[in-house]
Amino acid sequence: MSRQRKKKGRPVSGWLIFDKPKGMGSTEAVSKIKWLFKAEKAGHAGTLDPLASGMLPIALGEATKTVPYVMDGAKIYRFTVTWGAERTTDDMEGEITVTSEQRPDEASIKAILARYTGVIQQIPPKFSAIKIAGERAYDLARGGEEVEIPAREVEIDRLELIGQPDASTAIFEVECGKGTYVRSLARDMGRDLGCYGHISDLRRIEVAPFDEQDFVTLEELEAAHPPAPAEGEEGEDRSYEAIEARFSVMDAFLIDTGAALESLPQVALSDDQAHRIRMGNPVILRGRDAPVEADEACVTSKGKLLAIGFIEQGQFKPKRVFTA
């Protein structure tokens, strides 16, 4: 009989709203945060390109079960477009493919913004993670193949011009749904304006339900990280309580797992009801304001997220139960 392998790391859970610096990939960021927190498990909600900075929500432990709800949240980006050249990657990294001496004025830019709001058709960049016949588009593009990506539907709630530092650059802010490529916006606006364009700076400032006030920087985390105990240090307390105490300053940066589910109906349960849910059983919701039907809902116990499920005829039926 094989023995179950012991999990490595701390059973810490919660959301870390990481202010990802430029030059760091999303996978690299998750690995770094997982190491800093000595967490058993970690994942992220929404990839951010290495050339982009800003909000990368990282889930630790039980919070990884709520990643899809944050992935679906509205996002806000602030980005700079440089006019006069289109590039293979639609950002600063690619080679220039076409240029123009024309530069748009404020009125011309504002006149086309309505074309990019609402539900629109958008063709993702050739250098993107979209799969074409089972392969990533960027792998095909890097291999020299001509990549034809079909247009797809995306939703853009708001697109605003917020500044023009000079004739060749314009700063925008966009609020959009899942799957929107800001690089495609820059490319398409440049084509519409007849001047071509590409992203020269991109920063994500919000992923609902989180905002800029939740940001935590790498510098803050590294400053709070407890020093490793000296090898063979005498009298070192390796108990669970002592380890958790060492990480208490870092753990204070975490947001409760349940914060990711603000869009769902939430119902507080009694101790007896909570016990039944932990056993995987449904419970009848009582109270005048208790919902009767809901495709998705969550329940809490003593202020902590307990389970995600659905409500049918006044009965909550759990689908995912949380242990922390």
H runs (alpha helix) in the chain = 26-37, 67-71, 106-112, 137-142, 182-193, 218-224, 240-246, 248-251, 271-278
pLDDT of residue 132: 59
Check residue 1 and give its pLDDT: 44
Kindly list the domain boundaries of the chain, sorted by start residue.
75-207, 264-321
Residue ranges in the chain whose pLDDT is less than 50: 1-2, 234-235
Residue 49 appears among annotated catalytic residues: yes
| CATH code of the region 264-321 | 2.30.130.10
Residue of 19, 49, 91, 251 marked active site: 49
DSSP characters over 205-246: EEETTB-GGG-B-HHHHHHHSPPPPPTT-TT---SHHHHHHH
Q: Kindly report the CA angle at 263 between 260 and 265, in degrees rounded to 5?
A: 110
Place of tokens 């998705």: 296
**Protein fold of 75-207:** Pseudouridine synthase (3.30.2350)
